[in-house]
């Protein structure tokens, strides 16, 4: 019996036109652009705007920020129409809510889950404090911010989070099915976010891996 809930897919860390086109062709629902200069996947705002302009209707651009300035966030929003904001650093709930209000854009907030002690992270409290977020993105706490290719112990998360959830952190075509099965019922809904798991190199995507990832997500949907 097929599952009535279709798992949404975000692919993140794009730097090349051909990769954006291949992600859309594979079936991505959202395409993420990293606006964090220390990241190997970083692109300037102008480059993010060029790449986002390739997206067809109903594929959402997402702009990833880490502890950035309000002025730069506003500039990026002005350059990329319709983008969702993703706050991946130490931004406070008040800052995130204020930026959504100022830009008129919804936002995602990353929760950085400890690799060794995921059960010690109070995700219920975190979601309550970030109640204005469109979703809480679950990522592994690694040095730097995101894209580390590490998973955290999914089963240690609480089963009753009052938020839409986005599973991230070390997802690949080989493990995303298990991730969806483990966490599907833990929040209001579950989406997935992949970066390193669909790459040939940092910021360089692999079209075949993107297709395999989407196929694995659909297999999880159809198995429920």
Other CB atoms within 10 Å distance of the CB of residue 12? 26
| Domain formed by 9-222, architecture | Alpha-Beta Barrel (3.20)
Alpha carbons 224 and 206: distance in angstroms, whole number: 28
Q: What is the pLDDT of residues 132-146, one digit of tens each?
A: 999 999 998 766 555
Q: Where are the domains of the chain?
A: 9-222
| pLDDT, tens digit (0-9, with 9 covering 90-100), for 56-65 | 999 999 999 9
Give the tens place of pLDDT for each residue, 144-202. Answer: 555 556 788 999 999 999 999 999 999 999 999 999 999 999 999 999 999 999 999 88
Residues annotated as catalytic are 12, 139
> The pTM is what?
0.95
């Amino acid at each position: 019996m097929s599952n009535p809930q279709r798992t949404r897919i975000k692919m993140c860390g794009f730097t090349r036109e051909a990769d954006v086109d291949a992600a859309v062709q594979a079936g991505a629902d959202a395409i993420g652009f990293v606006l964090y200069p220390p990241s190997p996947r970083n692109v300037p705002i102008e480059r993010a705007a060029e790449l986002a302009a390739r997206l067809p209707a109903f594929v959402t651009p997402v702009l990833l920020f880490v502890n950035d300035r309000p002025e730069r966030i506003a500039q990026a929003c002005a350059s990329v129409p319709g983008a969702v904001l993703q706050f991946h650093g130490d931004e406070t709930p008040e800052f995130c809510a204020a930026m959504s209000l100022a830009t008129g854009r919804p936002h995602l907030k990353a929760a950085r889950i400890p690799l060794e002690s995921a059960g010690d992270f109070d995700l219920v409290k975190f979601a309550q404090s970030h109640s204005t977020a469109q979703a809480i993105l679950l990522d592994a706490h690694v040095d730097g911010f995101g894209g580390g290719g590490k998973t955290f112990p999914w089963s240690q998360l609480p089963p009753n989070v009052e938020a839409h959830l986005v599973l991230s952190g070390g997802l690949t075509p080989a493990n995303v099915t298990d991730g969806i099965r483990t966490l599907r019922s833990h929040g209001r809904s579950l989406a997935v976010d992949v970066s390193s798991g669909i790459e040939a190199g940092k910021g360089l995507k692999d079209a075949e891996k993107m297709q395999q990832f989407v196929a694995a997500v659909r297999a999880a949907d159809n198995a429920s």
